[in-house]
Amino acid sequence: MGKPTGFLEYERSGFLDREPGDRIKDWKEFHGLLSDDDIKIQAARCMNCGIPFCQTGKIYAGAASGCPINNLIPDFNDLVYMGAWKTAYDVLSKESIFPEFTGRVCPAPCEGSCTLGLDREAVTIKQIELAIIEKAFAEGWVRATPPKERTGKKVAVVGSGPAGLACATELNRAGYSVTVYERNDRVGGLLMYGIPAMKLDKSIIERRVKLLEKEGIKFVINTEIGKNHPVEKILKNFDAVVLCCGSTRPRELTQDGRELQGIHFAMEFLHANTKSLLDSNHKDKKFISAKDKNVIVIGGGDTGTDCVATSIRHGCKGIKQFEILPCPPLERASTNPWPEWPKLLITDYGQEESAHVFGSDPRHFVTMTREFTGDKNGNVKELKTVQIEWTKKDGRFEYAEVPGTEKSWPADLVLLAMGFIGPEDKLLEEMGIERDERSNVKAEYGKFATNVKGVFAAGDMRRGQSLVVWAINEGRAAAKACGEFLIQS
């Protein structure tokens, strides 16, 4: 513990975010890092507690508490405080294989379980992690390290999101010849097309992919197994297959008027926007534009926020965001004690930008959509809602409409950001993969084996929609299970 009184002497300082009025003019990352000296001060706030809950990666009350990849957080905090950046990078790399991703997009469950957070603001672990890896790249410490020997066995990884990349990395390091198949035109899956560029610059993904290619991983893009590449071929040509295809079936809304034009799933909107941005800086016009439109985002979470921020950058006329759940509290409720994930009201970057442009937070809580109405050309023009009230009965929450709270809202573009319900059917049906009661791939955590010999599954398609850091956890663990199978086969 480099500074025993650091947590008493220093206040938390977060990322140096660009001002909303500046950042909405472009698609560049809005997070900025503190100086090295200021990062050292933030690292000094770590208490190096006897039991570091920040790195436990446990599940409490259905949510992550601590780092799911078990980063050695107090250790690298202390090293940063002492100025030993290279050693801090070595320690970070022991557990974190993509800190440049998690340092940007992870919601930081490590900070939610930081002991300092019991009575003051938590340590800025996420910012320290990102500072370490970016210094490592700048100093040339991050280098390709291909395996010295190959086993002679081949593995196919289907999907190049965080789970797929993590799985491929670990299998390649163990000496297996790994080929990653990606159906899109760029590697990265959710990281590439599901997260906007202002949160994760796509050159960051490409930088890591180039390293992985130098280490011997082969990436095959524009290839969808079961569609333009036969399932039989992949099963025949590889000794094992790991499915990391994600949970990509969006939750639907079936209210009257859903068929109207101008109502889209969030990922349709975000994917097309990023692809057009990367292909032509939006000059090809191959994206769903929110310019001069009244936009309504249905659903909260990161995806809803990303839709808000993207619409504002397009130049929308107005933006509203409807959430069916109640507004979270500003402080922990008695039913949400530390070290559980703090269920608090967070004003994210999209809400900040809405407040700057339109003068208010776009969110409306306990608001349920009743129906959509359209114009004579079949375009959505209005959305009707009603307020609801939640009650608990027999241990379960129920809601009821509040009479007299009906309201109509102008809507030219509606984006459905209500989460995902499982993996797509075609590939799993063709391979004969069994599903669990939630429609995810049936494969026990720790073993990751499906009912088809030699086929494993990891990430969101196995556990359901979750965090990037959990996908990395699963990809690495599935690689270990796959490796054990290959040794025995």
- How large is the average pLDDT for residues 177-195? 98
End-of-domain residue from the set 418, 450, 468: 418
Residues 76 and 193 reside in one and the same domain: no
Clarify whether residues 285 and 229 are in a common domain.
no
With cut-offs at 50, 70 and 90, classify the pLDDT of residue 489.
Answer: confident
Tokens of 204: 């960051």
Same domain, 332 and 478: no
Domain final residue, candidates 139, 163, 183: 139
Q: What is the pLDDT of residue 63?
A: 86
- Asked if residue 467 and residue 352 are part of one domain, the reply reads no
Helices (H), 215-249: 231-237
Print the domain residue range for 88.
6-139
Residue 395 is predicted with a pLDDT of: 83
Q: At what angle do helices 73-81 and 36-44 cross, to 10 degrees?
A: 130
pLDDT at 2 over 80: no
Q: Final residue of a domain: which of 371, 390, 418?
A: 418
Percent share of the chain, pLDDT over 70: 100
User: Is 146 within a domain?
Assistant: no
Is there a single domain that holds both residue 300 and residue 386?
Answer: yes
Are 175 and 135 within one domain? no
Is residue 1 in some structural domain? Answer: no
The total number of residues shown for the chain amounts to: 489
Residue 1's pLDDT is what? 65
Looking up residue 349, the CATH number of its domain turns out to be 3.50.50.60
Query: Are both 58 and 114 inside the same structural domain?
Result: yes
Q: Which long-range contacts (CB under 8 A, 24 or more apart) does 477-480 make?
A: 477/445, 477/446, 477/448, 478/163, 478/167, 478/242, 478/244, 478/448, 479/166, 479/167, 479/168, 479/169, 479/170, 479/171, 479/174, 479/242, 480/170
Q: Are 279 and 184 in contact (CB under 8 A)?
A: no
The Cα 116–Cα 333 span in angstroms is 18
> Is the pTM higher than 0.85?
yes
Q: Say if residue 169's pLDDT is above 90.
A: yes
- Number of structural domains, the chain? 3
Interval 17-66: pLDDT, tens: 999 999 999 999 999 999 999 999 999 999 988 899 999 999 988 888 99
Work out the average pLDDT over 80-103: 97
Q: How high does pLDDT run on average in the chain?
A: 96
Say which CATH number the domain at 77 has: 1.10.1060.10
Residues 444 and 473 reside in one and the same domain: yes
Q: For residues 414 and 429, state if they share a domain.
A: no
pLDDT at 61 (0 to 100): 86
Residues 217 and 338 in one domain: no
pLDDT 10s digits, 422-452: 999 999 999 999 999 999 999 999 999 999 9
Residue 207 and residue 288 share a domain: no
The answer on 436 and 452 residing in a single domain is yes
